Amino acid sequence: MKLTAVSAGLSTPSSTRLLADRLTESARDELATRGHAASIEVVELRELAGDVANHLVTGFPPPRLAAAIDTVTGSDGLIVVTPVFAASYSGLFKSFFDVIDPDALTGKPVLIAATGGTARHSLVLEHAMRPLFAYLRAATVPTAVYAASEDWGSGGDQHTDGLPARVRRAGAELAALMATRPTRAEPEDDVTALERQLADLRFD
Amino acid sequence: MQFGIFTVGDVTPDPTNGRTPSENERIKAMVAIALKAEEVGLDVFATGEHHNPPFVPSSPTTMLGYIAARTETLILSTATTLITTNDPVKIAEDYAMLQHLADGRVDLMLGRGNTGPVYPWFGQDIRQGINLAKENYALLRRLWREDVVDWEGTFRTPLQAFTSTPRPLDGVPPFVWHGSIRSPEIAEQAAFYGDGFFHNNIFWPADHTRRMVQLYRRRFAFHGHGRPEDAIVGLGGQAFMRKNSQDAVREFRPYFDNAPVYGHGPSLEEFTEQTPLTVGSPQQVIERTLSFRETVGDYQRQLFLMDHAGLPLKTVLEQLDILGEEVVPVLRKEFAAGRPADVPDAPVHAARVTAATMAEGVTTA
């Protein structure tokens, strides 16, 4: 199965990428216990920032961005992670999903996650990320993972799980959802796909 | 194969001196460009249709009628005629009239237009774009082919016992191309009717063009109009040329960097790599254009956008000299070489009249 992580972190090293990697490992391990080998790709949006802006301007993706979009839309499951900027996902994160066909993620299992300096921003996941992927008709798993800076140096308490436990739970939910999906049929060639789109169109 | 130019009709400031031509200057420049096209031996001039600034050509048949009177051989076309927001009755009348005045040197390319507010300005809804294109074109065909039309549809008032006048010249309506960039529905419409399909590829990578034309060719055959290679295909392209390619790049770069349709995104180098835009020597334009055949197969019409990015008229006319004298003669020769004899020629009025007469003869025989 193809599992792809999209990370919108900007610094190197990036805590957003770190969270994406933890989540990816968790989902991969859970898929393995269910008997599925996952091939993993990571799309770093920082490397595509110029290409994304060019796509917005020209209407078509430069080759490297086209390849990244194909990776994302051809995956069996997605882990998408953004830093919190101004009370929402980053502009780069949103722009990347803006240039993907709005129907391309329909039904796709998605795990949403975000990072920030303080836990006060954690509801960004529910107020910004989840509606975005609901609009895209993705199948978003119930557990969304937010990692504040402090989470990297603390455990859970009596009220809440620590980051590792939340990562495990989210990864397991994604793996479970991916495992129940039917394997995709042989991909058809793109002209055949267009012909199928036209099936209901009548001129007479 | 036909070679020509198409113009958007934009009023764009010249970024090298900040000067913006007046509407009057731009309109006269478009006419000068059309006349030059015939002078340098091109086959086709096509004008855009727009109903908002910074574009001037809101009334294509007025402009084309004027050009028709001042030319002898040039085919007059559009790029595109808005099948969505124009009344199909008026399209039928206007283009039949133009066809008579121009002695058949007329075809048109239908498109949906791309400016949202134009729909409400003309009383339509952009969400109905495809349905408007379907219904309006179906009516347009009947108006040109049936002397008396009774019609009822969704988007305009019904017609009872309506005759569109003048009737098409020699009883053969203008040839219709359907222009589209990304809508497979329009490729399907062209294929369904056995009309031409023009893929305006000027801002798109070759792979996308290949896919759209392949779809059209496949569906053309599916709908029983012949083999896929019998379908009638047109492509766009755009260029800026100087004898030395470095000079072309140096001169065009400020235009590219500031043009509303090009600038502030990919670099000139990236854009020329990913789209048909070719900035260089005439030989480079020849090679690039010949490569289109590898993408779509042998095709019928090649239109170049030459008055782009705010280039002054003088420069555009120089470009047309180079295009007509150095590029197109070579393209004619090279495209003819290796072209199978059974690939159809580009449609022209006289040949279509002959074909219609023969078909008539077969039916009555």
Of B185, B211, B265, the CB nearest to A201: B185
CATH number at residue B269: 3.20.20.30
More confident residue, B41 or A158: B41
Nearest chain A residue (CA) to B185: A198
Nearest-CA neighbor of A177 among A100, A79, A96?
Answer: A79
Nearest of A185, A180, A129, A144 to residue A19 by alpha carbon: A144
Number of domains in chain B: 1
The 10 Å Cβ neighbour count of residue B40 is 17
Residue A192 pLDDT: 85
Whether residues B203 and A58 touch (CB distance < 8 A) is answered with yes
Residue A31: is its pLDDT beyond 70?
A: yes
Residue at A184 is within a domain: yes
User: Which chain B residues are closer than 8 Å to A60 by Cβ?
Assistant: 203-205, 208, 274
Nearest-5° angle of CA B165, CA B168, CA B170? 130
Q: Out of A54, A198, A204, whose CB is closest to B266?
A: A54
Burial letters A147-180, b for 16+ CB under 10 A, else e: bbeebeeeeeeeeeeebeebbbbbbbbbbebbbe
- Chain A contacts of B134, Cβ < 8 Å? 203
Cross-chain residue pair B266–A57, CB shorter than 8 Å? yes
For chain B, residues with pLDDT lower than 70 are 363-365
Q: Which residue of B has its CA nearest to A200?
A: B185
When scoring A58, A188, A201 by the number of chain B Cβ atoms within 10 A, the one with the most, hence best to mutate, is A58
Position B365 scores a pLDDT of 53
Q: Which residue of B has its CA nearest to A203?
A: B134
* Position A163 in a domain: yes
Total residues belonging to chain B: 365
Q: Is there a domain that residue A204 lies in?
A: no
Q: What percent of chain A has pLDDT over 90?
A: 82
Structure tokens at B115: 């400016």
DSSP chain A: -EEEEEE---SSS-HHHHHHHHHHHHHHHHHHHTT---EEEEEEGGGGHHHHHHHHHHSS--HHHHHHHHHHHT-SEEEEEEEEETTEE-HHHHHHHHTS-TTTTTT-EEEEEEEESSGGGTTHIIIIIHHHHHHTT-EE-S--EEEEGGGGG----SSS--HHHHHHHHHHHHHHHHHHSPPPPPPPPHHHHHHHHTTT----
What is the reported pLDDT for A76? Answer: 97
Are A2 and A76 in contact, with CB atoms under 8 Å apart?
yes
- Number of folded domains that form chain A: 1
Task: Give φ, ψ of B78 to 5 degrees.
Answer: -130, 160
Whole-angstrom distance, CA of residue B336 vs CA of residue B328: 12
pLDDT score for B235: 97
pTM for this prediction: 0.92
Question: For B209, which residue in chain A has the nearest alpha carbon?
Answer: A191
Residue A182 pLDDT class (50, 70, 90 cuts): confident
Which residues, in sequence order, are CB contacts of B80 under 8 Å at separation 6+?
Answer: B48, B49, B109, B110, B111, B112, B113, B179
CATH number of residue A141's parent domain: 3.40.50.360
The Cα–Cα gap between B361 and B365 comes to 6
**Domain-embedded: residue A16:** yes
Pairing of strands B44-47, A109-116: unpaired
* Structural domain span for residue A82: 2-197
Q: How far is CA A114 from CA A7, A9, A18, A136, A162, in A?
A: 9, 10, 11, 18, 15
- At residue B287, the pLDDT reads 97
B332-350 confidence digits (pLDDT tens):
999 999 899 999 999 999 9
Question: What is the rounded distance in angstroms from the CA atom of residue A188 to the CA atom of residue B1?
Answer: 34
State residue A123's pLDDT score: 97
Q: What backbone torsions phi and psi does residue B290 show, to the nearest 5 degrees? A: -65, -30
Whether residue B219 and residue A198 make contact (CB cut-off 8 A), yes or no, is: yes
| Amino acid (one-letter) located at A170 | A
| Locus of tokens 């009774």 | B150
As a whole number, mean pLDDT of residues A110-118 equals 97
Q: Residue B182 has what pLDDT?
A: 86
Task: Please give the pLDDT value at position A154.
Answer: 85
Domain membership flag for residue A202: no
Q: Across the interface, do B265 and A57 touch by the CB < 8 Å criterion?
A: yes
Residue A54 inside a domain? The answer is: yes
The DSSP symbol for B256 reads H
State the nearest Cα–Cα gap between A188 and chain B, in angstroms: 13
Among the partner residues A53, A60, A198, nearest to B204 by beta-carbon distance? A60
Residues 6+ apart with CB under 8 A from A189: none
DSSP type of residue B311: -
| Mutation choice for A interface testing from B135, B192, B217 by most A CBs within 10 A | B192
Q: What is the rounded average pLDDT of the residues A178-204? A: 80
Q: Residue A62 and residue B208: Cβ atoms within 8 Å? A: no
Nearest Cα of chain A lies from the Cα of B222 at a distance, in angstroms, of 11
pLDDT band at A199 (very low <50, low <70, confident <90, very high): confident
Residue range of the domain that includes B251 = 2-364
pLDDT at residue A197 in the model = 79
Give, for B249, the enclosing helix (H) or strand (E). Answer: helix B245-258
